[in-house]
Amino acid sequence: MTALVSSVPVVSGEDLGHAATACLKLEIAAYPKPGLVSPVDSGAHDDMDAALMNRSADALQPFFAGLADAGARGGGTDRLRAIGIDAERAMMAATGGVNTHRGAIFGMGLLCAAAGFRTRYGMVGTLGAVVAHRWGAEIMRGPVPLHSHGSVVARRHAIGGARAEAAAGFPSLYGIAMPALAAARHLAADAEAQRVHALMALIAAVDDTNLLYRGGAAGLVFAQAQARAFLDAGGVGAPDWRARAIAIHRAFVARRLSPGGCADLLAMAVFVEACE
Ligand SMILES: CC(C)(COP(=O)(O)OP(=O)(O)OC[C@H]1O[C@@H](n2cnc3c(N)ncnc32)[C@H](O[C@H]2O[C@H](COP(=O)(O)OP(=O)(O)OP(=O)(O)O)[C@@H](O)[C@H]2O)[C@@H]1O)[C@@H](O)C(=O)NCCC(=O)NCCS
Ligand SMILES: Nc1ncnc2[nH]cnc12
């Protein structure tokens, strides 16, 4: 799967859709991930497992391709949002009503649109820079769902959430996840371990609205401190890293904490590595 993602020249909308779905699946497959669903267990979730999440990823493939094509046609956020909402419906149909990938539809969808836009208009710069430049202002002006979990905690805790992350060109992706993936290559040879390392770096730094919704400020602080301690002890370069990551996973499950936004950002980092 890694070879497929990193060796295919990602240019057409269809290629981008395949790559985006492959990256969602690489995230799902990685273990141990604190509180998250993997093939080993369902983490802090009682309504999802890896098979359900993989079905969701497959259902989204044509929509990621459609978003790439819409980006290549220079579409604005109204067009992208219409495709995103259709994708959310397809996800709900594939999962029997479970929100597996709403954040990924939004973030990965924007990256696909940016890849289409960049190919068509020959723009230089990262995919994140394209998102910020072409759609950033529109994203912040666009409709805010009043009662979504993300918007409720964003208001309560005065943080930006998924929309602000995207509008700013995904600083957590470029400032945290990508450098962590690069650093992890010097710590561990296997790609799954490198992804766990990058996920821990994201959890340590991102204000994940899923953590805030389920655990409040105390839950977010706990999650960030656990991930920071893992990194400070050497991350996946430490000989006992796997046992330590499993212990953190269990501590998250015991508190019902799940960093779904960080999981999406990890998949997006793998996608950006393939595209840039
Ligand atoms: C703009 C929207 C994405 C709406 O966002 P909003 O912030 O209003 O709220 P949510 O509906 O809560 O969705 C935001 C999702 O984004 C992920 N996320 C969280 N924090 C961050 C962050 N700091 N940076 C980036 N991304 C972040 C996260 O998604 C993942 O978690 C979801 C699963 O979580 P789970 O624990 O199961 O939670 P729930 O099922 O919700 O509840 P409980 O189980 O706890 O009861 C899953 O979606 C992951 O992907 C947040 O959930 C957007 O909805 C919107 O406007 N959409 C339409 C437009 C569109 O898609 N356009 C296309 C491109 S323009
Ligand atoms: N592996 C995962 N487990 C739970 N929520 C997620 N959201 C995105 N990926 C996830």
Say which range, 38-47, 141-150, 191-200, has the weakest mean pLDDT.
141-150
Percent of the chain whose predicted confidence (pLDDT) is above 90: 90
Q: Render 180-203 in DSSP notation, one character per residue.
A: HHHHHTTT-SSHHHHHHHHHHHHH
Establish whether residue 261 lines the binding site of ligand 1, counting it when its CB lies within 6 angstroms of any ligand atom.
Answer: yes
Give domain status of residue 218, yes or no: yes
Q: What's the domain range around 216?
A: 7-275
Band (208; pLDDT cuts 50, 70, 90): very high
Give domain status of residue 17, yes or no: yes
Residue with tokens 């394209």: 130
Establish whether residue 164 lines the binding site of ligand 1, counting it when its CB lies within 6 angstroms of any ligand atom.
Answer: no
Give domain status of residue 164, yes or no: yes
- Whether residue 3 is predicted with pLDDT greater than 50 in this model: the reply is no
Q: Which atom of ligand 2 is nearest to the CA of 210?
A: 5
Give domain status of residue 2, yes or no: no
The first and second tokens of residue 31, run together, are 């273990």
Number of domains in the chain: 1
- Whole-number pLDDT of residue 192: 97
- Cα 180 to the chain's mean position, in Å? 15
Buried b / exposed e along 131-164 (16+ C-beta atoms within 10 A): bbebbbeebeeeeeeeebbbbbbbeeeebebbbe
Establish whether residue 12 lines the binding site of ligand 1, counting it when its CB lies within 6 angstroms of any ligand atom.
Answer: no
Band (123; pLDDT cuts 50, 70, 90): confident
Give domain status of residue 1, yes or no: no
Residues with CB under 6 A from ligand 2: 27-28, 36-37, 43, 45, 53, 101, 104, 258, 260, 263-264
What are the tens digits of pLDDT across the range 163-178? 999 999 999 999 999 9
